[in-house]
Amino acid sequence: MGKRINEMINPALRNPEEQKAKKLDLTVAAVLLAVLLVFLIVLDNVLPQNSFTLMLIPVLKKGAIYSLACVSMNLLNGFTGLFSLGQAGFMLVGAYTYAIFSIPSGQHNAVYQYFDGGAIKFSIPELLSGVLGDTAGSFLGSIICIILAGLVVAAFAALIGIPVLRLKSDYLAIASLGFAEIIRAIFQWNGLGAVTNGSNLLRKYTAFSNMKIDIGSFSLKFSTLFPFLIAGLSILVIVLLINSSYGRAFKAIRDDEIAAEAMGINLFKHKMLSFVISSFFAGVAGALLAMYQTTVQASTFNTTMTYEILLMVVIGGIGSISGSCIAAFLYIACSEWWLRFLDSGAIGSISVPFFRDGFRKVVFSVVIMVIVLFFSKGIMGDKELSLSRMIKKSKAKRAARAEAKAAEGGEAK
């Protein structure tokens, strides 16, 4: 165990071949990202709207948002070994922070109709639009509001982490889940209605549909690309963190706290750092979710949301970033699109009696049970999606087959 922790803390002790494999993986990732970028721009601006694209676009947007939520939870649960269930609460705070600071001042009376127009009378995108123009102001203002959402959530996490992170295992999970429920109740309290609008909806703020550039009579839309850019950059930061000395310290704490402490790692400091960073990106995911939904209400950020995100993390593989992203897209696609025909009562023109409302959820639950039973470590386990690893496995299989044939030939002689 000590040797493994030593290798985590000092990357120079690793096999030099890993560096070549990483370069290959980075090159492939860069090419795939460029292709994805072009596809999303074409999807938003060139492809005609039909039944296929109308289902594909929401799935892609929501998949990108939940990928970030899953990766942020995996940073804490999978890479640091802290079992937290406060994800929905952190996303709620992020969503509300974004919405509150991006509602145009002219819409405050309509949104806060029961609270005299609310306490916060300005909008960050609106202020920047007056200086930089509508397009630049909307883009930059939205990004600032998203970062602000993450910072507010990180501040909440820092305050909560002081007492909560001294707990372990189930106690930490229970405490974080309790925090999420308390936050949800507080945000619906009419006493804070001038800020949160009580139990009423927050609406009319900057959404994905506002992410566009007007070029004469033509509008270049970025409504699908925008969540991918923010989620992608956020996940990149998390990947860099995990591969840094801090990330190796997180893994050491996960594997063995006593050995990690003996190596000179400050347990509380690194746990707090992981908790705050994870919460920051959960807040960013919450802000993106607010942009996707176009309305925000605290009641939607319940324990079911946390369990869904946890389920995606488990399906993808605890300790795998690519696994979390794959599971998020698969989960959203199955629940929102691919299995919807099970609720329609028919397959094409063929009527099926037991296909009715709710049957989709039954089948989806069975599929999840099968995955959990037969892939106990998830789709990716604790590994990452890697072209170099696939090539290495393929070469090993070929070598094994060649040896087996050679052995058979020797026996025949």
CA atoms of 279 and 39, how far apart (whole Å):
31
The greatest distance separating any two alpha carbons of the chain, rounded to the nearest whole angstrom, comes to: 95
Mean pLDDT per 10-residue segment, the chain (413 residues): 50 62 78 90 88 91 96 93 91 96 91 89 89 85 95 94 80 87 92 90 90 80 93 94 92 90 90 95 96 93 92 90 93 86 70 72 80 80 77 76 74 59
Q: What is the pLDDT of residue 169?
A: 67
pLDDT of residue 371: 78
Return the pLDDT at 272: 94
Which is it for the CA torsion 230, 235, 241, 244, positive or negative? negative
Joined tokens for residue 381: 């386990």
Give the per-residue pLDDT at 346. Answer: 66
Q: Other CB atoms closer than 10 Å to residue 349's CB: what's the count?
A: 5
Yes or no: say if 308 and 331 are a contact pair by the CB < 8 Å rule.
yes
Which of 367, 383, 379, 373 has its CA nearest to residue 327? 379
pLDDT of 10 reads: 53
Domain boundaries, the chain: 2-302
Report pLDDT for 205.
92
pLDDT at 332: 93
Measured CA to CA in angstroms, residue 386 lies from 27, 28, 42 at distances of 11, 9, 27
At 14 the pLDDT is: 55
The DSSP secondary structure of 8-70, one letter per residue, reads HH-GGGS-THHHHHHHHHHHHHHHHHHHHHHHHHHHHHTSPP-HHHHHHHHHHHHHHHHHHHH
Give the single-character DSSP code of 201.
P
Please report the pLDDT score of residue 401 as a whole number. 78
Choose among 349, 385, 343: nearest CA to 364.
343
Instruction: Determine the pLDDT at residue 6.
Output: 53
